[in-house]
Amino acid sequence: MAAEDNKSAPPEGEKLAPPPAKAVASPSIVSPYFYRPSRRELLTRLGAAAAVLGGSAALGRFVWDKGGFGASQAGGTRQVRDYTLKGTTADFAELAIARAKADETPSAEVLVGRALAAMGGMKRFISRGDIVVVKPNIGWDRMPIHAANTNPDVVAAVVQQAFEAGAKRVVVADGSCNEPDRCFQRSGIWKAAYAKGADIVLPAEHRYRTTRIKGEVLDEWPIFTTLVDADKVINVPVAKHHNLAKYTAAMKNWYGVLGGRRNRLHQNIDTSIADLATFMRPTLVVVDAMRVLMRNGPQGGNIDDTKVMNTVFATVDQVAADAFGCTLIGQKPENMPYLKMGHERNLGTMNWQSLRVREV
């Protein structure tokens, strides 16, 4: 062998050259485990590799995050949920105050009826087949006697009026501060509203959606969708003292729309309230002042802090509602910054006397 090799010794360079194809193809030399892939297999394998590479590149490009703080921020305009009645006709009261007369047994149902009648009746506000949301204050684990939540009889009367006016469905909901089940049950509103046929919706987590309110201080917040998915919204707050905001009823009642950590709102409570009232514009406001918490609000807890007033007042102007309401606990509208803001934003008027006021 060696002699043969010497005889036909090729130059050094040629030794490195690949063996001729014929030798490789020869079955007698090459093991069956070494073979050239067929053209078909070659193309398939190359194609698969190329497809995976191309696919990952395309996917990467598609979901590419360029990073940076501004990436997730989007523009947007101020959102408004406007349920107000358009084209008001004259003659009806703009603020109707129903007070129990000295010779009658005070009844929330009668007072609500009188106030609404002076406003032109519930039929003026609700069309047949409407889905109506009634938003009472069910914020606290307190009983009706503590006057921290809306009086259940007032809520029931409003629900009944809404049904009588032709509402298809009446929903009663609120986002409570204390544990919701307990607030809804112990406020008496669950039972009273259920008895009138309303749907009671508790603030479950899945009912909140993040919404851009685009207010002055409230930008993006989780919103209790049940309260805004409606044809008509009736605000049924309770008038009471508030240690920070001084007085709370109609405008601050929209705190119940927000989810998330609303404890931060207190740092600028007046602007927050104005922002919320800008976002939510109800069809009608019916304020419960049957029993009013005069001190230690908004939660109360002591019956001695409450005062029986046997009053219900209705209006379409939520700023005027609070401007009048705060006089019940001895406050002046001028001292209430959020009323000023609401007035300046044209949400209503803080000069409630300038409206057509009717006492019934």
Partner 1 sequence: MANVPQRAPSVSPSRKNSLEAAKKAASAGVLLDVARVESAPMDVHADPIPWKGKVGAVLALDGPGATHSAPAPVARAPAAPAKGCGTGACDCKTTAAPARKDAEQMQKRTRSRLAELAGILGIGTPRDAATAAAVSRDAGVPGAASKKPAKLDPSRPGSGIPARPIIRFLVWARRVSQAGFFGLFMFFLFQTGFRGNFAANADTAVRLPYPVEAFLLADPFVSAMTVLSTHTVYRGLLWSVGLLALTLVFGRVFCGWICPFGTLHHFFGWILPSRRGRGGSRVEANKTHTYQRVKYYLMYAFILASVAGSAIGGLFDPICIAVRAIGLGVIPAVQYAGGRGLALVQDVPARPVQQAADGTQDFLATTVWQSHQFYFHQTWFILFLLVAVLFANRFIPRFWCRVLCPLGAFLGMFSRFALFGMEKDHAKCTDCNLCIVNCQGADSPQGGVKWRQDECHMCMNCESACPEDVIKFRFLPNRKSTVTRPDTQRRTLLATAAAGAAFIPAVRIADSLDVNYHAKVIRPPGAVEERAFLERCIRCAECMKVCPNNALHPAMFEAGIEGLWTPILIARIGYCEHSCVLCGQVCPTGAIQKITEKEKLGLGVPPVKIGTAFYDHGRCLPWSMQTPCIVCEEFCPTSPKAIWVEEVEAPMRDSKPGPAGEQPGMHQVKLQRPHVDPSLCIGCGACEKVCPVQDQPAVYITSVGESRSKTNVILLENTNYNQKS
Residues 301-320 that bind partner 1 (CB under 8 A): 301-302, 305
Task: Name the residue type at position 266.
Answer: H
With CB under 8 A as the contact rule, the residue among 81, 114, 135, 186 that binds partner 1 is 186
Length of the chain: 360
With CB under 8 A as the contact rule, the residue among 84, 185, 271, 331 that binds partner 1 is 185
With CB under 8 A as the contact rule, the residue among 84, 271, 299, 331 that binds partner 1 is 299
- For the bound state, the minimum distance from the C-beta of residue 246 to partner 1, rounded and expressed in Å, comes to 12
Two tokens at 15? 């030794």
- For the bound state, the minimum distance from the C-beta of residue 305 to partner 1, rounded and expressed in Å, comes to 8
Binding segment for partner 1 among 23-31, 120-128, 236-244, 278-286 (CB under 8 A)?
236-244
With CB under 8 A as the contact rule, the residue among 200, 258, 287, 309 that binds partner 1 is 200
Binding segment for partner 1 among 110-118, 125-133, 291-299, 331-339 (CB under 8 A)?
291-299
- DSSP-derived letter for residue 103 is T
- Closest by CA to 355, choosing from 326, 324, 334, is 324
Task: Name the residue type at position 280.
Answer: M
Interatomic CA distance for residues 116 and 133, integer angstroms: 17
- For the bound state, the minimum distance from the C-beta of residue 199 to partner 1, rounded and expressed in Å, comes to 11
Asked if 65 interacts with partner 1 (CB under 8 A), we say no
Pairing between strand 95-99 and 208-212?
unpaired
- Closest by CA to 147, choosing from 354, 326, 309, is 309
Is the bond preceding 298 in cis, omega lying within 30 degrees of 0?
A: yes
Judged by CB, which is closer to partner 1: 28, or 263? 263
Asked if 269 interacts with partner 1 (CB under 8 A), we say yes
Binding segment for partner 1 among 36-44, 62-70, 197-205, 343-351 (CB under 8 A)?
197-205
Asked if 191 interacts with partner 1 (CB under 8 A), we say yes
**CA neighbours closer than 13 Å in the CB half-sphere of residue 179:** 4
With CB under 8 A as the contact rule, the residue among 29, 204, 210, 351 that binds partner 1 is 204
- Helix ranges (DSSP H) in the chain: 2-7, 12-15, 21-25, 39-62, 108-118, 152-164, 180-186, 189-195, 225-228, 269-279, 318-328, 337-344
Asked if 266 interacts with partner 1 (CB under 8 A), we say yes
With CB under 8 A as the contact rule, the residue among 83, 163, 190, 279 that binds partner 1 is 190
With CB under 8 A as the contact rule, the residue among 101, 123, 264, 332 that binds partner 1 is 264
- DSSP-derived letter for residue 47 is H
Number of residues that bind partner 1 (CB under 8 A): 42
- For the bound state, the minimum distance from the C-beta of residue 94 to partner 1, rounded and expressed in Å, comes to 32
User: In 138-249, where do the E strands start and end?
Assistant: 169-173, 199-201, 208-212, 220-224, 232-236, 238-242, 246-248
Asked if 136 interacts with partner 1 (CB under 8 A), we say no
Question: In whole angstroms, how large is the CA radius of gyration of the chain?
Answer: 36
Q: What is the binding site for partner 1 (CB under 8 A)?
A: 141, 143-144, 152, 177-182, 184-188, 190-191, 194, 200, 202-207, 242-244, 261, 263-264, 266-269, 296, 298-302, 305
